[in-house]
């Protein structure tokens, strides 16, 4: 069993201006820094460990989480200021770009829930909530209250639980995540599945599973979505990891073509988006 380190820390700001890969969003919101899903064997592809947010931390990525204890007050103030200046109605927010907003500790701390309460009081144009965690189901009431301002994005990298177990064993199962997506869609929340990054899969079967679970799907790859044209994923040893697990041939440019074709054929072109253009379709 690995040990995790949790820490409470005050933050000076809630919303961070975005650009680059998330250029369609004005701000990102990370209720936590660090991520407990990323333990050894968890998300070996996670390049957030290479970003400034992880610099200065001596413990390995995946073993620490910093909870931004005053996030709700800061956010309330920042949203009120945007509202006062007349900019809130056009504001787009991505939650979260450098962590998962539904860490296990969110069950008790409820920082993400408090942020959603603030968004309900101060509605923006669009809030995209991205997670791999079924804990998001707890906040169905607040997310439905946001109506068509909210997009729920559930990350599911493969349809094959053997692949998930081999590459990111501490992530929730494929079926459990599909169940979460189906639940939000059933309640009328615009739901997307982010196949990000795409892991080895069975294209037709994957397309069939997604068809009733999501309004749209975004396919992303190590080479298009790691912010460095695959260099970060290569440096993280994904090619070697795939080779050790018997998935040679999947870590290469163009490996997503078969899946894209199967998705487009099953879901229709308009429900299948690709990489940055897909994430920024807000």
Out of 22, 33, 46, 109, point to the residue binding ligand SF4 (CB under 6 A). Answer: 46
Shortest Å distance, C-beta 270 to ligand SF4: 27
Contact, 222 vs 197, CB < 8 A? yes
* Residue 164 touches ligand SF4, criterion: CB under 6 A: no
Considering only the stretches 6-14, 30-38, 221-229, 253-261, report the one whose residues sit in contact with ligand SF4 under the rule CB under 6 A: 30-38
Contact, 84 vs 20, CB < 8 A? no
Question: Which residue, 42 or 207, is less far from ligand SF4 as judged by CB?
Answer: 42
Considering only the stretches 1-9, 41-49, 119-127, 179-187, report the one whose residues sit in contact with ligand SF4 under the rule CB under 6 A: 41-49
Instruction: Name the phi and psi angles at 65, rounded to 5.
Output: -140, 130
Considering only the stretches 40-48, 178-186, 215-223, 271-279, report the one whose residues sit in contact with ligand SF4 under the rule CB under 6 A: 40-48
Buried b (16+ CB within 10 A) or exposed e, 102-128: bbebbeebbbbbbbbbbbbebbbebbb
Euclidean distance between the first and final Cα of the chain, in Å?
40
Shortest Å distance, C-beta 171 to ligand SF4: 7
* Residue 100 touches ligand SF4, criterion: CB under 6 A: yes
Q: Total residues contacting ligand SF4 (rule CB under 6 A)?
A: 10
Contact, 202 vs 258, CB < 8 A? no
Strand partners, 280: none
Task: Using CB under 6 A, list all residues that contact ligand SF4.
Answer: 35, 37-38, 42-43, 46, 48, 99-100, 132
């Amino acid at each position: 069993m690995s040990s995790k380190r949790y820490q409470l820390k005050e933050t000076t700001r809630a919303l961070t201006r975005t650009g680059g890969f998330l250029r369609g969003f004005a701000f990102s919101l990370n209720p936590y820094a660090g991520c407990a899903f990323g333990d050894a064997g968890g998300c070996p592809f996670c390049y957030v460990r290479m970003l400034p947010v992880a610099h200065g931390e001596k413990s390995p990525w995946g073993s620490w989480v910093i909870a931004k204890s005053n996030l709700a007050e800061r956010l309330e103030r920042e949203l009120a200021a945007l509202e006062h200046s007349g900019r809130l109605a056009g504001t787009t927010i991505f939650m979260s770009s450098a962590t998962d907003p539904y860490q296990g500790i969110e069950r008790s701390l409820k920082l993400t829930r408090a942020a959603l309460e603030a968004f309900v009081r101060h509605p923006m144009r669009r809030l995209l909530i991205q997670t791999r965690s079924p804990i998001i189901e707890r906040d169905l009431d607040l997310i439905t209250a946001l109506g068509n301002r909210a997009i729920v994005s559930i990350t599911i990298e493969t349809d094959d639980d053997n692949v998930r177990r081999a590459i990111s064993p501490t992530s929730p199962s494929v079926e459990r995540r599909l169940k979460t997506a189906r639940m939000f869609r059933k309640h009328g929340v615009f739901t997307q599945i982010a196949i990000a990054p795409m892991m080895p899969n069975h294209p037709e079967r994957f397309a069939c599973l997604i068809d009733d679970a999501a309004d749209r799907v975004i396919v992303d790859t190590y080479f298009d979505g790691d912010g460095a044209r695959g260099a970060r994923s290569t440096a993280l040893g994904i090619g070697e990891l795939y080779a050790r697990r018997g998935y040679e041939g999947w870590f290469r440019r163009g490996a997503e073509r078969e899946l894209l074709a199967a998705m487009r054929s099953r879901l229709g072109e308009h429900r299948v988006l690709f990489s940055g253009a897909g994430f920024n379709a807000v």
